[in-house]
Amino acid sequence: MIRYFLKQVEIEGFRGINNEDDPLIVKFKSDSINSIFAPNAQGKSSIYEAICYAISGNIPKLKDLLSSERAEEYYCNRFNSTGTAKILLTLTPDDGSNDITILVKRDKHGKKNVASPSGYNKPEELLENLNNELCFIDQKTFIKFVEDSPLERGRTFSSLLGLDILSQYRQALEMLSNTRSLNSDFSIEQLRSKINEIRTILDTSVQNIEILFNKITNTTVPIPFNIEVIINNTTSILKEINLLKQCFREKDVLSVNYNSIKKIVRDAENSNMHEQLLEVIKKITELSSLAPQKDDEQYQNDLNALVEIRDNAFKVTQGPLFKALYETLLNILQSEEWTYSKRCPACNSDLDYDFESEVGKQLKEYDEVASTTIKIIEFWNSNVWINRIKNLFQLRNLKFDNKQKAVFQNIENHFRSGDLSESDLKLFFILFEEIEAIRKKTLSTLEEKKGNIEKKLPPSLVNLTDKITYANQIKENINKYLELQPEINSLQNSLDKRLKWQKFVEYACNSFAEAEVKLSTQKTLDLEKKYQMIYSEITKNVDVVPKLKKSEGTQNLYLNLENFYGLKDVAATALLAESYKNALAISIYLSSVLDNILPSNFIILDDVTSSFDAGCQFNLMELLKTKIARPINPNGPQVIILSHDGLLQKYFDRISNETQWFHQTIQGLPPTGSIFTQAQDPCRLKSSVENLLNAGKIQQAVPYIRQYLEFKLLEIIRKVSIKVPLDFSIRDDKKMVKNCLDTITESIELEKKAGTLILEEPQTNILKNTLISSIIANWVSHYSTGIISSFSPYVLLGVLNDIDSIADCFKYDCHCLSNTQTVRRYYKTLSSKHCNC
């Protein structure tokens, strides 16, 4: 995997950085720790946000704003006349290939445009690869991590472990395997219902075929059920009847012309009696096929049970009004406008639990009601018993009174809407009995009528008429069977495929989720030693040992303490001070950085030590320098630290001469004017002052002259190892110009009296008689009293030279450091040199 260092960022017109036509250029070194200092409101966080926006496409601070606060208007600098923000990143790949530049622009309408001036093929894809939670770490990240719910913390942690993409895949698989969604998206219930509906009709046809086959052939249908055999056997029997032989020549029961058969029979009988008989037999067959079946009682019990389950499930809920309320709340909570997870949108109350989960739980109680209601509706649409009742009710030869019709209509409506009640059912069962009584009575009347007709006809003709009627009816049922069989096969095939998919994605989702939990648990354990070591290095407190605890089978993550001054397994969030909680959070983040190999080989820390005490701050910096960051850890990240902390600035200044540390400051006039960086080298402050004085900006230059003087005096004390009073060494407020000068002059006097002073006579003289007195007289005293307005830039440039001359009094010519030139080198002490030069 190619990993990338951040080499440079150029920013114009973004957030607090105006820099119109003069972009702010910040350089970073891949083999150094990079620190950037700026006082508050100097554009430091704008640098952080610019890199964050370029890579991730958003700024968390703005993303969290309400839509009414119009966050989109605050990305571009409001004072830049173009209204367009430009961020140019320069990335250095670790495989030695050429640097890549990516230009991210955002116009005033919020449109983001990504291009690569260096010609990289897929700049957007590269930015996407670089985007991860370990790149950008600020104070808010820690506070959120500490204060989040165990579930949210667990999710963040999962992302820190590099498991974020796995978590996304798991959620995506959950979406695709969700039973309710699949039922709806794949029309599974609809398909099932359609199959049941057709199967009911098909079953009735088969049943009719069996009865009619028996009546025509006096035998039962051969097993297995084979429609070809049924057609052949029926045709054979009918063909044997002399009168019909001619009609069945090369025809079967399906293709024979029944009108010509009827004509033949009519001619033979010479009356229309047989037609009346045909009609009566047809009605009898119809009514007989709708007789009660042995499963009817079971169906009635099933229906009773369904209504009871639905009613019981409904009692647990708070009714339809609350359902509507919960659905509306869920819509709001899932909308982009609502960004609070622990606030009720109805009353704006802050809650101590995730509100969306709670609303989801309440809505789930309605699921049982919904699913049973669907089953009741399906029961009406596809149950064999119900269908038979419906068919009976539609028969013209059955006579129902208006009350029965009204009851049927009412119950049908309740069935269709799923509102069927227990009292509806009682009425329905009574109606069913009444219908059955009418059916029986009608059937009996028809049988009587049939008997009367048959008495008037010769028995052979009666038998023939029966057979012809049955043949015609078996033909209709066989045709229906042949028409529906392929249809139901096709539907069943389709349903099987969808159900197979459902089972497959459910398995995929479950096995993925289980594997993710196992991996996450293992990684948490692997990380333990690392974050415990980092925490111990930052706090230097061996009596407090943190330990992350993961709930088995869930994503919940708890911040615990394995040891707290002898107490075991206690809650870190309840016991640790703010500074220590943040130390714990940064320990976890840094250990994750060390544990992950990501395309972005850099981390940007924005004011992460704000809540740390001075000790923890320095411990953290030392830890970064000696164990975590490049170059000491060649596999570690390129660290970029942004800070406004005055104490850290002194630390940065002191350490910046070391090759492994690259320090810069931000200066300028944000958000209206320009800001710029000044690389921190021994001449940084001096060149800043010279630039300001050359531009006539005396007021701006004066504080820097004071800072430069302080810097150089402290440098002399440090480099020449001048002994200082105890309070000077431990109290930062004592490290002022006057104290520095006093310490230096007193030390010189002491060495001189001891006869051990190494400084040359001219150096001592010029220092004592000219430079120090000149500095005090011309600068320090005036600066202290605030009378500086009378100084010209030339005088102040002279002060700068005097400051350098003071430092030069503590140096000697060294010839051994370089073969080609003489180097001015600080004495080792006031009584010795580093070499014999």
Partner 1 sequence: MDDFNFDPNLPPDENIKIFFEHLKTLDKKMARILENKVKKLIPLPDSGPRRNSIRLSVNSEILQLLEPEGRKGDGIEK
3-state helix, strand, coil in the chain (%, to 5): 60, 10, 30
Distance between CA atoms of residues 735 and 38, nearest Å: 21
Distance between CA atoms of residues 220 and 207, nearest Å: 12
Under 8 Å between Cβ of 747 and 756: no
Distance between CA atoms of residues 605 and 368, nearest Å: 50
H or E segment at 237?
Answer: helix 227-239
In degrees rounded to 5, what are phi and psi of residue 26? Answer: -115, 125
Q: Based on CB atoms, which residue is closest to partner 1, 285 or 592?
A: 592
Q: Based on CB atoms, which residue is closest to partner 1, 57 or 682?
A: 57
Distance between CA atoms of residues 279 and 261, nearest Å: 15
Q: Based on CB atoms, which residue is closest to partner 1, 161 or 544?
A: 161
Q: Based on CB atoms, which residue is closest to partner 1, 131 or 700?
A: 131
If you compute the radius of gyration of the chain from its CA atoms, what whole number of angstroms results? Answer: 46
Q: Based on CB atoms, which residue is closest to partner 1, 269 or 354?
A: 354
Q: Based on CB atoms, which residue is closest to partner 1, 593 or 616?
A: 593
User: Six-digit token pair at 614?
Assistant: 């001075």
Under 8 Å between Cβ of 708 and 724: no
Distance between CA atoms of residues 182 and 501, nearest Å: 10
Q: Based on CB atoms, which residue is closest to partner 1, 58 or 700?
A: 58
Sign of CA dihedral 607, 610, 611, 612: positive
In degrees rounded to 5, what are phi and psi of residue 349? Answer: -75, 140
Residues in the chain, how many? 837
Distance between CA atoms of residues 1 and 655, nearest Å: 33
CB 475, min distance to partner 1, A: 25
Under 8 Å between Cβ of 553 and 610: no
Q: Where are the beta strands (DSSP E) in 521-623?
A: 544-550, 557-564, 567-571, 602-606
CB 504, min distance to partner 1, A: 5
CB 491, min distance to partner 1, A: 7
Q: Based on CB atoms, which residue is closest to partner 1, 98 or 331?
A: 331
Distance between CA atoms of residues 606 and 736, nearest Å: 29
| 3-class SS of residue 301 | helix
Distance between CA atoms of residues 589 and 835, nearest Å: 46
3-class SS letters over 35-80: EEECCCCCCHHHHHHHHHHHHHCCCHHHHCCCHHHCHHHHCECCCC
| 3-class SS of residue 782 | helix
CB 181, min distance to partner 1, A: 6
Distance between CA atoms of residues 51 and 73, nearest Å: 18
Nearest alpha-carbon partner for 17 in 677, 670, 678: 670
Q: Based on CB atoms, which residue is closest to partner 1, 74 or 169?
A: 169
Q: Based on CB atoms, which residue is closest to partner 1, 192 or 684?
A: 192
Q: Based on CB atoms, which residue is closest to partner 1, 265 or 513?
A: 513
Q: Based on CB atoms, which residue is closest to partner 1, 103 or 519?
A: 519
Q: Based on CB atoms, which residue is closest to partner 1, 16 or 599?
A: 599
Under 8 Å between Cβ of 516 and 167: yes
CB 33, min distance to partner 1, A: 26
CB 336, min distance to partner 1, A: 5
CB 699, min distance to partner 1, A: 49
Q: Based on CB atoms, which residue is closest to partner 1, 314 or 340?
A: 340
CB 803, min distance to partner 1, A: 54
Question: Would you tell me which residues interact with partner 1 (CB under 8 A)?
Answer: 1, 162-166, 168-169, 171-173, 175-176, 181-182, 185-187, 190-191, 194, 330-331, 333-336, 487, 490-491, 494, 497-498, 500-501, 504-505, 507-508, 511-512, 514-516, 518-519, 522-523, 526, 597
Q: Which residue has the tokens 């004509």?
A: 263
Amino acid at 58: N
Distance between CA atoms of residues 502 and 500, nearest Å: 5
- Quote the DSSP letter at residue 817: S
| 3-class SS of residue 432 | helix
CB 501, min distance to partner 1, A: 6
CB 187, min distance to partner 1, A: 5
Q: How many CA atoms lie within 13 A of 166 on its CB side?
A: 20
